[in-house]
A and B are shown apart, each in its own frame.
Chain A
Amino acid sequence: MKFLCIPCDVKMEVQVDGIMPEEKQNLAMKFKCKKCGHSIAMLTNKFETEFVSKLGVEMGGPSDISKSPMAAVSSSLAQAKEELKSTDPEDDLIWTEEAEQRIKKVPFFVRGMAKKTVINFALEKGATTIDAKLMDEVREKVGM
């Protein structure tokens, strides 16, 4: 799927940093025209979101998450062993248990992007801990 900016007649680019989906629910992905700067959002309902999440590819390009073994299985399998679930790459920030659970609920194929958005927001703000409140602020900021 590609998006075309009709006035400029150029391809719109996915905005890797700027996504904060509702966990396992509807999803909005931002695309921007490099030429005129116009942004649009592609909206998917929970059924469409789930379907894409089972394919094993990531929107916005592969992140460290997809380099983990059995990434799609560990992300989608209910009641999987903890050893399999803990394959997300670490970062220097402290994630509270609630924040960690929330980010793990984000569909596999956009989790890398969502995580990046949260981390960048925390770094900009000078925060060292990511908690649920900060994640709510991120959602507020990106307007979804």
Chain B
Amino acid sequence: MKTYEDLEGDGGSNIIGQVVQLGEKLRFRLDKIKHKVALMSGKGGVGKSSITANIASCLADRGYKVGILDADLNGPSIGHLLGVGNDQKLETKDNGVEPGNGHQGIKIMSMDMLLKSADTPVMWTEENDATAVWVSTMESTAIRELLADTNWGVLDYLLIDMPPGSDRIDNIRSLIPELAGAVEITIPSMLSQHIVTKSITKNNKMGVPIIGLVENMATYICPHCEKEGKLFEGEDVQKLTERKEIPYIGKIPFDTRVSQSKSGNLFYAEFKDSITGKAIAGTVDNIENFIKK
């Protein structure tokens, strides 16, 4: 009796051929994007999306063509930050879906853009007995489609705003083997540093280049007198970078205007000369220097 290997093909579905085609479609998109950078943290609530949006703003300000993939499927916030509302009509063409056009021409793709209303959660089935296995499989497929089926066009930078945790990086790394690297983000609290350490260790084990660690909300800047004060008690974040042998690429003070710019623009575009704005620019310098190496 013949065995699996003896039989050519798979009975007409050509699953392997389909998988190859999906890979080629993805490659077609990615080849037009020079640098792909993931921004991540093991910990939620450290300001990943806000930092991602403002790094994108700084890059756009320097004349680069920038896009952001919101890989935080269940907590998408990039559309909100970049001024692309859920009510904007989605433009689908035969060759892909048009990305949202955010502030400063930054292109974005986010689950929020695909859902019927702003308060609709991401659900892959409305059946109560959906299993975690389906959800996980579907999320991997969704990330691939968001990357491959968005008409990104030619970009200098694609920033990937990762969800909290370190599990999604496996998925991103397999889809984008040429990933320039990951920017890790933490706040000074011991809890955040403890969890981010795991993410750094995982990236090291997986061979994902770590561009460096950003210390967000490092201090508090008074909006009235611009005096700096401590916001969190915690061990010096620089010591963590020394211990893990990764670069310390940014110390970004908290500024209340980061989340509530009156004009609706991104913080960096409006306040680039502020202390926090300059810190963001310094971080971008370090990212650019890493990529140029």
User: Residues on A close to B: CB < 8 A?
Assistant: 1-4, 6, 9-14, 16, 24, 31, 47, 50-51, 54-62, 66-74, 76-84, 86-87
Closest residue on chain B to residue A113 by CB atoms: B13
What's the minimum C-beta distance from B120 to chain A, rounded to whole angstroms? 5
Is B146 within 8 A of A76, CB to CB? no
Task: Give A81 to B88 CA distance when docked, in angstroms.
Answer: 10
Is A80 within 8 A of B137, CB to CB? no
Count residues of B near A (Cβ-Cβ below 8 Å): 49
Is A62 within 8 A of B131, CB to CB? no
Is B11 within 8 A of A70, CB to CB? no
Contact string, B91-122, partner A, CB cutoff 8 A, digits 1/0?
11111110000000000000001111100101
What's the minimum C-beta distance from A30 to chain B, rounded to whole angstroms? 11
**CB of B222 within 8 A of chain A?**
no
Contact string, B119-160, partner A, CB cutoff 8 A, digits 1/0?
010111111001101100110011011100100000000000
Task: Give A80 to B122 CA distance when docked, in angstroms.
Answer: 9
Is A56 within 8 A of B126, CB to CB? no
Within 8 A of A (CB), among B218-241: none
Is B7 within 8 A of A73, CB to CB? no
Is A70 within 8 A of B146, CB to CB? yes
Closest residue on chain A to residue B120 by CB atoms: A79
Q: Which one of B117, B123, B131, B145 lies within 8 Å of A73 (CB-CB)? A: B145
Q: Which one of B1, B7, B91, B124 lies within 8 Å of A76 (CB-CB)? A: B124
Task: Give A73 to B142 CA distance when docked, in angstroms.
Answer: 6
Is A61 within 8 A of B12, CB to CB? yes
Q: Which residues of B contact A77 (CB under 8 A)?
A: 114-115, 122-124, 142
Is B141 within 8 A of A56, CB to CB? yes
**CB of B14 within 8 A of chain A?**
yes
Task: Give A72 to B137 CA distance when docked, in angstroms.
Answer: 11
Closest residue on chain A to residue B8 by CB atoms: A11
Chain-A contact segment, one of B18-26, B38-46, B263-271: B18-26
Task: Give A2 to B270 CA distance when docked, in angstroms.
Answer: 60
Closest residue on chain A to residue B143 by CB atoms: A73
**CB of B90 within 8 A of chain A?**
yes
Is A76 within 8 A of B22, CB to CB? no
Task: Give A4 to B122 CA distance when docked, in angstroms.
Answer: 41
Task: Give A82 to B130 CA distance when docked, in angstroms.
Answer: 23
Is B142 within 8 A of A72, CB to CB? yes
